[in-house]
Chain A
Amino acid sequence: MPASYFDVDGTLVSTNLVHPTLYYMMRQETPLHSLGKLGKALFRAPLLAYAELQDRRMFNEMLFMSYEGTSEDRLITLAEDAFKTVIKPNLFPGAKDLIQSCVDRGHQVVIVSGALDFLMQLLAEHLGAHDVIANKLEIKHREATGKLMRPVVAGPEKAALIRDHAKKNGHSLEDCFAYSDSYSDVPMLSIVGHPAAVNPDRRLRQLASTYHWPIIKLGDAA
């Protein structure tokens, strides 16, 4: 049985990691707390922009520092609302169909995302995916430290995680499928036998055209 590995941001949903993070920042215990979080985030914005250009993993780690001090209960309690408010309305038309199409063909469908695991779990349940590879916040004394557990799911690390997942679940990578929108995910697309570019950015589109990978537009309703 093959597996289908799906990136999320830009591939299945039009939002990115920043949107749910902002959602959490805006919903701190008090408006003052929220203001503080936003202020810190604004202060870090130039650094975040620089990190995004340099290294996706660095960007992820800096972004998730915003969660520092948020209680575990709060993270879980707000997750469902964050999913309904931020992620679900921004699912691309056709995303669910594509996942269902993989499920119907007997694939193990795996969400692979730099977003946080508790949100991706809800997305997986909504889409009918079977497994999730996502980032986990480090929790100490029932509060997020703002650090990510290792390994950080981003860029080339996704490829290694997919390789491990396939091995553990008995999939031949040659038979597996992977879907992403971003040039930063070329490593994860390259290790499977059947890569596909979904709503690709300019650089990925060029690469996909060169290597004749299928290019899908999920924004187009059937």
Chain B
Amino acid sequence: MSHPSVVTIDSRSAPRTLFYGDQLMDVDLPTGSRVVYPKPPLTPVKDVDAAIRYAIHHPYNSEPLYALLKPGMKVTIAIDDISLPLPPMRRPDVRERVCTIVLDLLADHGVDDVELIIATAFHRRMKEFEVRHMLGDKIVDRYWPKKLYNHDAEAPDGLVHIGDTSEGEVCEINRRAAESDLIIYLNVNYVPMDGGHKSVSTGLCGYKSLMAHHNPRVMRDCHSYMDPEKSALNTSVVRMGRVINAKKRVFTIETTINNRMFDRPLEFLAKNEDDLSGPERAALRALKVTLDKTPQPLRQAIFQRVPSPYGVTGVFAGETEAVHVHTLKKSYDQYLVPVVGQADILISGVPYISPYNVNAFLNPLLVQVMANGYLFNLYKGIPMVKKGGTMIVLHPCTDKFDNEQHAPYIEFVHRLLPETRDAMELHKRFEKKFASNPAYVKMYRSGHAYHPAHAFFMWYWGEAGRQHLGRMIVVGADNEYIPKLMGWETARTMDEALRMARTTAPPKPEILALHVAPTMMTEMFAEKPAKGLPGASEPPPSLG
């Protein structure tokens, strides 16, 4: 028997309603198709502040935080940026709660040389109102912008070389953090690829360090990003993190959240369409019609300005690796849905948001990241789709970019992709020069643009998916040339896409559909494990 979150379509099944950018699309899936739904949200901890205090006083493989503090010492608190969670969390964000408690503790122990750095790496700088949302008025009023600021990976003399790994990876981190007696890293773990050593070694680093793993060679060797043990990216990051932690005192605080992305009035979006009550079905119809009739900018505003009621499910603190084991376990507990048997055709809607377009439009390069990168990689074990199989995604692929945040992406998509889609060639021929365009670097450093190299990283992010998949078909694209630039075929309807996919699939293809959002991932088995599948609320066997 399959997991309750895996629904098999039969002749009486209702159409599935999947995200199509910031709209919804009803699709009829063939009988026998399996649809994977997110697990129900885990029950949040009752008293978050108590959980935070307990975690920092009872850390894993480390002395309690208070025991590491001495009057007059220099402390840097590094914090995950707004790319997580998606959409942003309803206030108070868990980072504000942790930060408030940690800052009080530091003050109680006479530590007043404290700076807070938002660990943006090559992401765009957060704006004040976003930092305010994340850390609250009290902290922002006291520290912003002199003692609470965004990391600058291009600041002259702003990085310190900590050492190199056995593989020659260069470990550089933010100067203030490197010169501190203690680095406290404050993480929000949204998906299993976040956190752990990635926090300091990536969030606070510069180009030399990022190049070690954000390249097509490493990205091709990730199976998947969400399965750290099988991710070359994670292997590289761990090597680098160990070099840093050997020389710098790092106290890691990680938090996990459940997948309550939608508040109660919209909770039906995560439910099996066959199980919707009458009012829920009517609400779904009404929402779909409303979205269809609403202009795009308004749809974007509605979706992006409504924060999510995520609940905190765990707080873990201490030594980075010891902490991360517990974080991963909790994260998998929320997201992993066991599925037996790879598909020939994988179907997924592409929602309106990614980690890289908070308060901006999901442009074509990010649609690619979502499809070939994140959605394809939402698995642990073996890929959801067989090698050479087809992935069908739903998105309008509108040729629209945010001129401020994604300025370098525009040139990447319209000038470089027409030259080649080959990630290796892009990496070798164009990346270095493009990434050093002073105008783009200036926009990154003093504006709110992603670093020019980030456009390349976004393309590499889809590399594992591109290498594995035989075909990509997009349903409902409003133009032909963007999908063509991506190397994708187009279909007007899901029926047409399935007909196209069947031409290269076995006679009775296995079809698997992902019902995102909210976020979930699959634990894929080639065949049913001898011990049976993990239950709905059990952690996966590999972590048990």
Q: Do B439 and A212 touch (CB < 8 A)?
A: no
Given known contacts A105-B436, A194-B437, A212-B410, A217 and B447 CB-to-CB distance under 8 angstroms: yes
Q: Which residues of B contact A32 (CB under 8 A)?
A: none
What is the distance, in angstroms, from A204's C-beta to the closest C-beta of chain B? 13
**Interface check B419, CB cutoff 8 A:** no
Interface residues on B, range: 20 to 34
Task: Give the residues from 1 to 58 in chain A that come closer than 8 angstroms, CB to CB, to chain B.
Answer: 4
- Chain B minimum-CB-distance residue to A212: B410
What is the distance, in angstroms, from B387's C-beta to the closest C-beta of chain A? 37
Q: Do B446 and A177 touch (CB < 8 A)?
A: no
Residue from the list A177, A209, A212 in contact with B438, Cβ < 8 A:
A177
Q: Do A177 and B445 touch (CB < 8 A)?
A: no
Contact bitstring B475-504, A, C-beta under 8 A = 1, else 0: 000000000000000000000000000000
Q: Do B401 and A216 touch (CB < 8 A)?
A: no
Q: CA A18 – CA B449 in complex, angstroms?
A: 34
What is the distance, in angstroms, from B195's C-beta to the closest C-beta of chain A? 28
Q: Which residues of B contact A220 (CB under 8 A)?
A: 446-447
Q: CA A98 – CA B154 in complex, angstroms?
A: 12
Q: Do A98 and B447 touch (CB < 8 A)?
A: no
Q: Do A215 and B436 touch (CB < 8 A)?
A: no
Q: Do B411 and A216 touch (CB < 8 A)?
A: no
Q: CA A222 – CA B448 in complex, angstroms?
A: 11
What is the distance, in angstroms, from B436's C-beta to the closest C-beta of chain A? 5
**Interface check A172, CB cutoff 8 A:** no
Q: Do B414 and A98 touch (CB < 8 A)?
A: no
Q: Which residues of B contact A170 (CB under 8 A)?
A: none
Q: Do B414 and A212 touch (CB < 8 A)?
A: yes
Q: Which residues of A contact B414 (CB under 8 A)?
A: 212
**Interface check A179, CB cutoff 8 A:** yes
**Interface check B440, CB cutoff 8 A:** yes
- Chain A minimum-CB-distance residue to B446: A222
Contact bitstring B411-441, A, C-beta under 8 A = 1, else 0: 1001000000000000000000000111111
**Interface check B22, CB cutoff 8 A:** no
Given known contacts A214-B407, A222-B446, A102 and B401 CB-to-CB distance under 8 angstroms: no
Q: Do A179 and B446 touch (CB < 8 A)?
A: no
Contact bitstring B433-463, A, C-beta under 8 A = 1, else 0: 0001111111101110100000000000000
Q: CA A98 – CA B446 in complex, angstroms?
A: 10
Q: CA A100 – CA B442 in complex, angstroms?
A: 11
**Interface check B152, CB cutoff 8 A:** yes
**Interface check A94, CB cutoff 8 A:** yes
Given known contacts A94-B446, A222-B445, A222-B446, A196 and B411 CB-to-CB distance under 8 angstroms: no
Residue of A100, A101, A220 contacting most chain B CB atoms (<10 Å): A101
Task: Give the residues from 149 to 178 in chain B that come closer than 8 angstroms, CB to CB, to chain A.
Answer: 152, 154-156
Q: Do A214 and B445 touch (CB < 8 A)?
A: no
Q: CA A217 – CA B414 in complex, angstroms?
A: 24
Given known contacts A100-B156, A222-B152, A214 and B446 CB-to-CB distance under 8 angstroms: no
Residue of B154, B155, B403, B410 contacting most chain A CB atoms (<10 Å): B403
Q: CA A98 – CA B447 in complex, angstroms?
A: 13
**Interface check B404, CB cutoff 8 A:** yes
Q: Do A216 and B403 touch (CB < 8 A)?
A: no
- Chain A minimum-CB-distance residue to B408: A214
Q: Do B403 and A101 touch (CB < 8 A)?
A: no
Task: Give the residues from 173 to 217 in chain A that come closer than 8 angstroms, CB to CB, to chain B.
Answer: 177, 179, 194, 196, 209, 212, 214-217
- Chain B minimum-CB-distance residue to A107: B438
Q: CA A179 – CA B154 in complex, angstroms?
A: 20
Q: Which residues of B contact A98 (CB under 8 A)?
A: 438, 442
What is the distance, in angstroms, from B403's C-beta to the closest C-beta of chain A? 5
Q: Do B404 and A215 touch (CB < 8 A)?
A: yes
Q: CA A194 – CA B439 in complex, angstroms?
A: 9
- Chain B minimum-CB-distance residue to A103: B438
Q: Do A177 and B439 touch (CB < 8 A)?
A: yes
Q: CA A220 – CA B442 in complex, angstroms?
A: 10
- Chain B minimum-CB-distance residue to A214: B439
Q: CA A109 – CA B196 in complex, angstroms?
A: 43
26 contacts between A and B (CB under 8 A): A94-B442, A97-B445, A101-B154, A101-B438, A101-B442, A102-B438, A104-B156, A177-B437, A194-B437, A194-B439, A196-B439, A212-B407, A212-B411, A212-B414, A214-B407, A214-B408, A215-B403, A215-B404, A215-B407, A215-B443, A216-B447, A217-B447, A218-B446, A221-B446, A222-B152, A222-B446
A residues adjacent to B (C-beta < 8 A): 4, 94, 97-98, 100-102, 104-105, 107, 177, 179, 194, 196, 209, 212, 214-218, 220-222
Closest 5 CB pairs of A and B: A196-B439, A214-B439, A212-B410, A222-B446, A101-B438
20 other A-B residue contacts (CB within 8 Å) besides A179-B439, A214-B408: A4-B438, A97-B442, A101-B154, A101-B442, A105-B436, A177-B439, A196-B439, A209-B403, A212-B401, A212-B403, A214-B407, A215-B403, A215-B443, A216-B447, A217-B446, A217-B447, A220-B446, A221-B446, A222-B155, A222-B446
